[in-house]
Structure 1
């Protein structure tokens, strides 16, 4: 419990094992792209302007790689290991552009557990509906630590 409320914490390192997998499917919708562009103030015409993108080798607007990275890092915070996790390293390669309205699958797999340093290495593969590899990478993640119970009065000075 934290501040008198129960908070769900993700899985601790002792609860995980190599080879565990998580799969997420996401459709790249305009509403999500517009939210990203508005939040980041990114005005790259390649991401939203159909007229501009049609004149490039891409032929149509593409999804910003950092938005895909956000989906991947969010999955770590929400699911594997989950709330309380912290990413300390990430390395992604974007092999092919992902276009608006494409449905992509994110496959996460725990490939290494380092109990001594309290980290797990998670490999990520992103594929499209044709099963083409669109992006791949790895993240080093610190899973949630076991917390001792403390009362809200601990934070009275804040």
Structure 2
């Protein structure tokens, strides 16, 4: 493990996995809308949202997906890792008050580049709401590699 409690690239193995859970509530949606500027009424206006295919307000897709970021940053590879890319498929909407469980699992490791490919999935009540893959740069225990970070190329 690194000095922040995350895993070094040398500690990882294919199949290693971790989860992170977050219940997304009204305050999260309002703060997210303010932070990013996405004020789509399907997220903020119940009357408008009731008339849509969703039948009520839904959480921003990217807010729901951000639980994956929390799983990566806090669990696997954890603190010190750098998010490089993410592919997402939004399968179902997330509603206010629902708990998103993000699971990340190591599917590929490139030690020379310190790259890790993670399978990512978010579930609510056992049903997949988001699936995808992430590319992450992990820390290393090698002193010679800590002097300069590699150029981020995907």
TM-score greater than 0.5 by the shorter chain: yes
Structure 1 CA distance, aligned partners of 2:85 and 2:100?
23
Tell me if the contact between 1:84 and 1:145 (Cα under 8 Å) persists in the aligned partners: no
Using the size of structure 1 for normalisation, the TM-score is 0.82
Per-residue deviation at 1:70? 2.0
After TM superposition, the structure 1 stretch with the greater mean CA deviation from structure 2, 44-53 or 24-33, is 24-33
* Higher gyration radius (CA): 1
1:112 to 108, 114, 139: 108
Using the size of structure 2 for normalisation, the TM-score is 0.84
Per-residue deviation at 1:34? 1.2
Can you list the C-alpha shifts for 1:11-69, whole angstroms capped at 9, x where unaligned? Answer: 11001111111122221111111111111222110111100000001111111111122
Does residue 79 of structure 1 match 2:75? yes
Which consecutive unaligned segments of at least 5 residues does structure 2 have? 144-154
Structure 1 CA distance, aligned partners of 2:142 and 2:108?
24
Which consecutive unaligned segments of at least 5 residues does structure 1 have? 1-6, 149-158
Does residue 88 of structure 1 match 2:104? no
The alignment's C-alpha RMSD in Å is 2.0
Structure 2 CA distance, aligned partners of 1:147 and 1:9?
16
1:4-153 correspondence runs (5 A) = 8=4, 10-129=6-125, 131-146=126-141
Tell me if the contact between 1:112 and 1:121 (Cα under 8 Å) persists in the aligned partners: yes
